Chains A and B, each alone.
Chain A
Amino acid sequence: MSSSIQVEQVHKTFMKPTGETVHAVGGVDMDLRPGTFYSFVGPSGCGKTTLLHMIHGLLPTTRGRILLDGEEVNGPTPNKAVVFQQALLLPWRNVTDNIKFGIENDRNMSATERLEICDKYTQIVGLRGFESHYPHELSGGMQQRVNLARALAVNPEILLMDEPFASLDAQTRLLMQEELQRMIDWKNSGKIVVFVTHDIEEAVFLSDVVFCFSFRPGTIMKEIKVPFPTPRTLRVKEEPEFLQIKHDIWELLADEARKAMEE
């Protein structure tokens, strides 16, 4: 299992309800390789989430194209899965049935196999014992674990994560960052992970490669490779080299963030 993605000169323009056009993404090129964790960082409104949706196929590109293994993306397919910013769990389903959501239509799987898969990912995300709980009985962090398990259960080659930790409290967020690496295991499974965030530290900590986006129209200002071996522990965040990378990215993004704020 090893897919690759080419993003070629992708643009996206939106029409606001007021009739005004917004140039959200302005000519992005990237080449995503299997077994790699990529982050998109940039100020609010830099089109990073829009690009994520276009890679997924939920949104069409205005210009340019996105290729998955040489074929143009034109809609969601079962080899891609999203972890949403809001957990988006179905309130009427318990943990197991929520995790099952994406594999219910896989005809190659028997009911027992589906349950085994749910069981496996319930364990991986650390929710053993909560199988029959309903979403409203879970904390925000646990809901995000279910959200992640639901995406992992389809065993996607491409895992797209849209600010999944944005709504968590600071401590839970740190723990989730550390655990996420073990839960996804992208190096061994050859997955491509795309992680959208505006937290620079989070991006550097998790990623093999960080893409820094400019403000609208979003373009890639810099592609930064993070040299630390994975999986990493939170202690990495105190190393001088880590701090240096973080500092460099902030230097690069500060002006763009200011533009976003003035908008």
Chain B
Amino acid sequence: MEVLLNVYQQQRKWMNAILGIAIVTVFWMFANWQVDSELFFVGPWRVVTYTYGLFASGEILDDLRISGIEFFWGYGVAAVAGIGFGMVFGISRIFREFFDPWLSAIYATPSVALAPLIIIWFGVDLTAKIVIVLITAVVPIVLNTYTGVLSVGKEFQTLANSFCVPQRQVLYKILIPGSLPYIVTGLRLGISRGIVGVVVGEYFGAYAGLGYQLFKGLDTFNMPLMMSCAAMLAGTGVVFNQVILVIERRMAPWRDTQLQE
């Protein structure tokens, strides 16, 4: 018993995560047992086997590829542009005062509202979806980078001045490392919003993609397909988030102990 308790103490974080998944799974199985209609609900095991089937037959691979391209291009451009614009927002007061209202407006507008317009402007092919992912994902990245730059204390600017550090070096010696924690938060929020962008984009006319399959499932009363797509989308979000956290830990070793405390 004592040995078990020790193992639990040491691996607490993982054990609790696994326990949490187990609890929800039990409820899920119970609900499935109550409903017992595949038109309406499917259990966890069915989702796993159905997803395996999709991979085994290879029919989902093309959808994964398409959604992947949409996400990576859209999110990639969003990350670069978002960090860049966020820096400009944070540094230039005049820019901030001019464009802050627009930023808030884009942030407040649901991507579902913009998607039809973008489809009309860019067509039903990949470009439109990439643009949708881009504009949904970019806003939290801009906002967080910009907040991050503002959070770097004025006293560090004074420090740089007093040691005669040229202004352009302040950008990469002070502002970028100082706002890194915020940038990472922005990138993580951008991932979830980008995935929403993929699904929304594929809702308005598509030939392939995870979102497309999900809505096809809706049209054909294929509940296992819908839940399998939803699970894959969720899993992708979790994995990408972890990737960003690992990158952060590599790039910012000074935050390591602070995070653990």
Contacts and interface: CB of A to CB of B under 8 A. Distances in A.
Interface of A: 56, 58, 76-78, 81-82, 84, 86, 88, 90-94, 101-102, 104-105, 134-137, 150, 154
Interface string B136-174: 000000000000000000011011011111100100011
Contact of A78 (B155, B164, B258): B164
Given A58-B158, A86-B155, A92 B164 contact: no
Contacts of A94: 254
Contact of A137 (B173, B252, B257): B257
A135 B257 CA distance: 12
Nearest to A80: B162
B217 interface: no
Contacts of A104: 165
Contacts of A105: 164-166, 169
Given A58-B158, A88-B155, A81 B180 contact: no
Given A58-B162, A77-B164, A81-B163, 17 more contacts: A56-B162, A76-B162, A81-B162, A84-B159, A86-B155, A88-B155, A88-B156, A88-B159, A90-B156, A101-B159, A105-B164, A105-B165, A134-B253, A134-B254, A135-B254, A136-B254, A136-B257
Looking at A58, A86, A90, A154, the one whose CB has the most chain B CB atoms below 10 A away is A90
A105 B163 CA distance: 9
Contacts of A136: 254, 257-258
Contacts of B258: 136
B156 A102 contact: no
Contacts of A150: 163
A102 B164 CA distance: 8
Contacts of B156: 88, 90
A56 B163 CA distance: 10
B76 interface: no
Interface of B: 155-156, 158-159, 161-166, 169, 173-174, 177-178, 180, 252-254, 257-258
11 contacts: A58-B162, A76-B162, A84-B159, A90-B174, A90-B178, A92-B254, A101-B159, A101-B165, A102-B163, A105-B164, A134-B253
Nearest to B180: A92
A17 to B, nearest CB: 15
Q: Which among B159, B166, B169, B252 has the highest number of chain A CB atoms within 10 Å?
A: B159
B176 to A, nearest CB: 10
Contacts of B254: 91-94, 134-136
A90 B155 CA distance: 11
Contacts of A84: 155, 159
B161 A101 contact: no
Contacts of A78: 164
A81 B254 CA distance: 26
Contacts of A86: 155
Contacts of B165: 101, 104-105
A126 B15 CA distance: 44
A104 B163 CA distance: 10
Contacts of B164: 76-78, 102, 105
A243 to B, nearest CB: 37
Of A92, A102, A137, A150, chain B has the most CB atoms within 10 Å of the CB of A92
Nearest to A135: B254
A82 B162 contact: yes
Contacts of B253: 134
Contacts of B173: 90
Contacts of B159: 84, 88, 101
A101 B163 contact: yes
A82 B155 CA distance: 13
A259 to B, nearest CB: 29
Nearest to A78: B164
A51 B165 CA distance: 22
B161 A58 contact: yes
Contacts of B177: 90, 92
Contacts of A91: 254
Contacts of B180: 92
B11 to A, nearest CB: 26
Contacts of B252: 92
